[in-house]
Chain A
Amino acid sequence: MHQSSLLLTVPNTLDSMFLAKIEVGHHLYWQLGNLKLHGQVFLTSWVVIAILVVASLAATRNIQRIPSGLQNLMEYALEFVRDLAKNQIGEKEYRPWVPFVGTLFLFIFLSNWSGALVPWRLIRLPEGELAAPTNDINTTVALALLTSLAYFYAGFSKRGLGYFAKYIEPTPILLPIAILEDFTKPLSLSFRLFGNILADELVVAVLVLLVPLFVPLPIMALGLFTSAIQALVFATLAAAYIHEAIEGHGGEEHESHS
């Protein structure tokens, strides 16, 4: 995506405080063939992925009957994710979708929190800055498109071509709206996550720019809270869409998208 952006730099007196600089739309570009990649997103998401992989390997390497420490934590996370999927998708169908929904939740949660908790800005890049992977629209769009694919797959594998009956189910007049819905779902999913995370970081950055000490702390805490809720919302909605695709028009109670 081309972004001709203006850089909100601090006034000259504060210029030495590179920590309090706001950069939106500036990226560390990597060239891969014809593609321009946003390098800083890759770096941070690799860190997040590494943390997740190492944590799950370390937790399952030496499994005890009475869990303690890391194993306890990961079991708690697994139970949380399983309950989330069970609540949305239903007792019968939820099991195969636990890995997908759980991965979404854990990855988004850890990315959001890494953006708020890890002092990325201490590591200087030639251009752009390290931040949460989810404050780049490309990451969230990728996650949202994966969700779309997942619920299409769920509908197909469960009901075959009968899945398309949902487009004309109550009446064919609603066909355009039903088709439009398939586009608005990933759009709203990705924009919600992207906007929330970027807004959090911007608010914190602006406050840090105004008052560098202590004042931004409550907002940062609020940001942590919102990030966690957004991860939950993304995973919940993904599970709800999958449920809707599996169940057909039985998903009225989950009509709360957008």
Chain B
Amino acid sequence: MDPLVASASVIAAALAVGLAAIGPGIGQGNASGSAVEGIARQPEAEGKIRGTLLLTLAFMESLTIYGLVISLVLLFANPFS
């Protein structure tokens, strides 16, 4: 592989995961904070809130995973190599 392409791919892979982690991180923090607030206000709804929270967290996490998929493609199945 061309060293320029290789180094650019590695940097791009790192950036893809790193940048993709920012938004979902904020979102997951917000969601968890609200969930804790909800549980504190209404402890009997804890089970329902937890279920919904886990599902939403998985959705937000998948945004980071998209970045991860891109970086995995760059590292292991690079189309430009």
**A interface list, Cβ under 8 A from B:** 1, 3-6, 24-25, 188, 191-192, 194-196, 198-199, 202, 226, 229-230, 232-233, 236, 256, 258
Contacts and interface: CB of A to CB of B under 8 A. Distances in A.
Contacts of B59: 233, 256, 258
| Majority-rule SS of A interface residues | helix
B62 A195 contact: yes
Interface in B40-72: 54-56, 58-59, 61-63, 65-66, 68-69, 72
Contacts of B61: 196
Contacts of B58: 226, 229-230, 232-233
Interface residues of B, number: 19
B76 A196 contact: no
Contacts of A198: 69, 72
B79 to A, nearest CB: 9
Nearest to A4: B81
A36 B1 CA distance: 25
Contacts, number: 57
Nearest to B62: A192
A232 B53 CA distance: 13
B78 A195 contact: no
B62 A196 contact: yes
B66 A191 contact: yes
Interface of B: 1, 54-56, 58-59, 61-63, 65-66, 68-69, 72, 75-78, 81
A195 B76 contact: no
Given A4-B81, A195-B69, A233-B62, 20 more contacts: A4-B78, A24-B75, A188-B62, A188-B66, A191-B62, A192-B62, A192-B65, A195-B66, A195-B68, A195-B72, A196-B61, A196-B62, A196-B65, A199-B68, A202-B72, A229-B54, A229-B55, A229-B58, A232-B58, A236-B55
